Structure 1
Amino acid sequence: MKRSTVVHRAVLAVAAVTLAAGCVPEAAGSGGARTTPPSAPTTGSAAPAPTPSSATPGTDDKPSSPAPTTGTGTPEPTARILMDDGDESAQVRELQARLRQFGSFDRAPTGFYGKMTGAAVKAFQRKRELPTTGSVDEVTWRKLLAATREPTADELRPATTNTLDTPDPRCMTGRVMCISKESRTLAWMVDGKVVSSFDVRFGSENTPTREGEFKVEWKARDWTSTLYHTPMPYAMFFSRGQAVHYSSDFAARGYNGASHGCVNVRDKGKLAVLFDQVKVGDKVVVHW
């Protein structure tokens, strides 16, 4: 074979390898995510065996903490975590109602597992001489079930006023509607002191109430939603259409319903007084 032919074929082979290792185009509809480019071909060695994953496919259980070991080095069994900080579910609501029966949770159940619920769980664990993790594992849950009875409908969703949350630091100066998603309360505060408080509810998962620091942009004593055509009396708007306002649905159904993103208040008389006190420009803080 001629030397020129050999060189020509070698050039073609190098070009083919270069194209195979080039960038892969974005997948359609991937939102800009790129697929993983293929590895350059290797010769003379087998491909490395994949490392097996430690996760169990088909499960969504919360991971337990690493298992402690005995003196012989054998891992001891650990209890699976059932509920933890950030969870929101009917089971969390039942947990809170049972903790309230036990005397370690002093507010109405909300269904959200936050710092106050974690503190109540720790208090229960201490009294039962369990590890004070603040998370509900299988052992903690069994102990709580044994120490309490099944909550009634009124215990799960009581009509009593919720206990106020510890104010967010942003609420400690000036005139502020301080709104806690965890305790589901609104505290009207002036220079760090609570003037009045309200039970409130928020938007659903699909239409959440925005969190952060805002200002009252405008007010309307009688307003009807232009999107949902429902009355919004004593509306105080603070974030692109979201407002604090009275809700007859909240007054009738309580926490069985949700707003479209607004902060619903169920005590119309008290809210009417607050409406007259709040000024455009006053601060609004929505926090967990």
Structure 2
Amino acid sequence: MGDIRRRRAVALGITAGLVAPLTLALGTAPAQAAPSCTTQTGPYQKQVEKFLGRPVDGKQSAADCKAIQAFQTKHGITPNAGYAGPVTWGVMDLMNKQKAVGKNPNKAGKCPVNKGRIACVNLTLQLSWIQDGDKLVYGPVPVRTGRNGYETRTGLKKIYWRNIDHVSSIYHVPMPYSQFFDGGQAFHSAGVSMWNPPGSHGCVNMTKTDAKKYWSLLKKGDDVYVYGRKPGT
């Protein structure tokens, strides 16, 4: 009996060791236990304080740290110790730039307006929207695209396959509302923050609400245009 129990324990340990790397490889933000707050003042202290509506004095306080830590935990930023560093400020700065776009995401005219209905993806701002000619149909919405080394490929593409209940054959995880437009790259919903660094493995992640809307508005053969460059890639 002792040998059997030991063999079972070893098997369970191996299984557990396989599961954790898979989760991390997918960029999923696991539940983070809040570590002790750092007392260090970060290089982006004032910017982060302003973003969070804290008193802007450029000095770390216990209240500052708790507010920063809550933001980091919400968006899967690690380590979530409340330090106002470049990754945290990078996420906040991106949020500010996305907000500034308002309801005119194609102001620069980079997404084609002569294709009829088309889904546009601006990698630089991590935004996507659907337009029909020059009329905005839906969006813009925040998206999470490919990380460094797994970049979402740019250019004009077409949706060639749709699967509402797709499961990844590589990572063996659900990819609901998948609409493939370039090899294994697709629009699909993901259960992480759209600002969770470092990004996907090439797909354009969306919230479930936005992925469902894209599913209802797009069809096989519709154009997709991806342009720009994701920060950090």
TM-score range, shorter chain: 0.5 to 0.7
1:284 to 214, 221, 224: 224
Counterpart position of 1:239? 182
Match of 1:229 among 161, 164, 172: 172
Q: CA deviation at 1:170?
A: 2.0
Deviations 1:25-83 (A, max 9, x none): xxxxxxxxxxxxxxxxxxxxxxxxxxxxxxxxxxxxxxxxxxxxxxxxxxxxxxxxxxx
> Does residue 176 of structure 2 align to residue 258 of structure 1?
no
Residue of structure 1 equivalent to 2:92? 155
Structural mapping, 1:133-212, within 5 Å: 155-156=92-93, 158=95, 162=99, 163=101, 164-166=105-107, 167-197=109-139, 198-212=141-155
Conserved? CA contact 1:209–1:242, under 8 Å: yes
Q: Which has the larger radius of gyration?
A: 1
1:278: how far off? 0.4
Q: Supply the distance in 2 between the matched residues of 1:231 and 1:192 (Cα, whole angstroms).
A: 34
Count of aligned positions: 142
The CA distance in 1 between the partners of 2:92 and 2:148, in whole Å, is 24
Q: Higher strand proportion, which one?
A: 2
Specify whether residues 240 and 150 from structure 1 end up closer, same or farther in structure 2 by C-alpha distance, changes over 3 A only: closer
After superposition, the C-alpha distances for 1:128-170 in whole angstroms (9 at most, x for unaligned) are xxxxxxxxxxxxxxxxxxxxx9997573464996423534252
8 Å CA contact 1:232, 1:246 repeated in 2: yes
CA contact (8 A) 2:157 2:181 kept: yes
What is the letter of the counterpart of residue 260 of structure 1? H
Partner of 2:26: none
Which residue identity lines up with residue 271 of structure 1 in the other structure?
A
Amino acid of the structure 1 residue aligned with 2:197? N
Q: What is the alpha-carbon distance in structure 2 between the residues aligned to residue 159 and residue 235 of structure 1?
A: 28
Alpha-carbon distance in 2 for matches of 1:191, 1:161: 22
Q: C-alpha displacement at 1:238, in angstroms?
A: 0.3
With normalisation by structure 2, the TM-score equals 0.53
Q: What letter corresponds to residue 123 of structure 2 in structure 1?
A: K
Deviations 1:74-115 (A, max 9, x none): xxxxxxxxxxxxxxxxxxxx7xx69x98xxxxxxxxxxxxxx
The letter for the 1-side match of 2:185 is Q
The 5 Å alignment of 1:118-129 reads none
Amino acid at match of 1:269: T
Query: What is the CA–CA distance in structure 2 between the aligned matches of 1:156 and 1:169, rounded to whole Å?
Result: 23
Unaligned runs of 5+ in 1: 1-93, 102-148
Q: In 1, are the aligned partners of 2:159 and 2:220 still within 8 Å (CA)?
A: yes
**For 2:154 and 2:85, how far apart are their aligned partners in 1?**
34
Superposition CA RMSD, Å: 3.0
